[in-house]
Amino acid sequence: MGTCHSTPPPQQIHYDTFPSYLAAGCLFTDGKVAIAGIQRHKGSLSGIGGKREGTDADWFDTAWRETAEELFGWTTLPSTLLVTLRSHLQVETVSANSGYVMIRCSFRTLEQFLSFCREYTSPFYKRMPTTLMELILERDRVTGGEIGGLALLPIHTTSYRLDPLFQMDLLEILKDPSPPQYERPPPSGGAPSRAPCSSA
């Protein structure tokens, strides 16, 4: 007679560190670039996170609740989803500064988080994203919410700002948001065709 092996369910983790924290969030990065969100009311780029609420058991709850709310426009985090996150998501690096707890996560963890959220809906997406690129590129930046668009920012040792001329280039896109049209290249080895000139 054969034997049956069962795998015990993952242990639910309760993070009791940083008991007096005030806010928490998630920083998604591969060590070279990181995800940032455009704060709609401030016009600035920032991380993803927010204030502690009375229903949050700890900073893990706050960080992932705020992440889900800001990414998907939810007002609350489904309790069943929170149980899933606590059971399966591993905290890779966590630090606290002035009462703010930051969970640093890989893009792999982000996509694991997205896979847990795919059965729900969001006003920011026609269909729920399952990859990093879908999260950024398929987001509806017009629909209301605390965060508009998302961006990947390079991680540098010095701070940087948006060049005014580059900002003007970006604003030009708003005037004509259609994809760029490409001209057909000239035949190999041939010179570009020229429009006929009118003679005086």
For 20-63, how does the pLDDT look when each residue is reduced to its tens digit (9 = 90+)? 999 999 999 999 999 999 888 787 889 999 999 999 999 999 99
Range of the domain at 34: 23-151
Q: Note the pLDDT tens digit of each residue in 114-168.
A: 999 999 999 999 999 999 999 999 998 777 778 889 999 999 888 888 888 988 8
Between CA 48 and CA 71 the distance in angstroms is 8
Between CA 151 and CA 140 the distance in angstroms is 13
Task: Supply the pLDDT for residue 11.
Answer: 43
Task: Supply the pLDDT for residue 12.
Answer: 45
Work out the pLDDT band at 9, boundaries 50, 70, 90. very low
* CA angle, 27 then 32 then 88, to 5°: 40
- pLDDT higher than threshold 80 for residue 200: no
Per the domain annotation, does 51 fall within a domain? yes
Whole-number percent of the chain with pLDDT over 70? 80
Per the domain annotation, does 136 fall within a domain? yes
Query: How many residues in the chain?
Result: 200
Between CA 179 and CA 146 the distance in angstroms is 27
Per the domain annotation, does 43 fall within a domain? yes
- pLDDT higher than threshold 60 for residue 2: no
Per the domain annotation, does 175 fall within a domain? no
Phi, psi of 8 (to 5 degrees): -65, 145
Lowest mean pLDDT among 119-123, 154-158, 169-173, 191-195: 191-195
- The tally of domains found in the chain comes to 1
Task: Supply the pLDDT for residue 60.
Answer: 93
Per the domain annotation, does 121 fall within a domain? yes
Per the domain annotation, does 44 fall within a domain? yes
Per the domain annotation, does 58 fall within a domain? yes
Residue 121 near residue 128 (C-beta atoms within 8 A): yes
- pLDDT higher than threshold 70 for residue 177: no
